[in-house]
Amino acid sequence: MCKKNILNKKGYLKNYKEWNKKIAKKIAKIENIKLNKNHWKIIYIIRNFHKKFKRTPSMLIIHRILKKEKNKINLNKLFKNKFLKISTKISGIPRTNICI
Q: Which of 85, 83, 81, 87 is nearest to 10 (CA)?
A: 85
CA distance 4 to 90: 15
Assess whether 99 carries a catalytic annotation: yes
Q: Which of 5, 9, 34, 99 does the annotation list as catalytic? A: 99
In the 8-state DSSP scheme, what is residue 57? P
Active site amino acids: 99
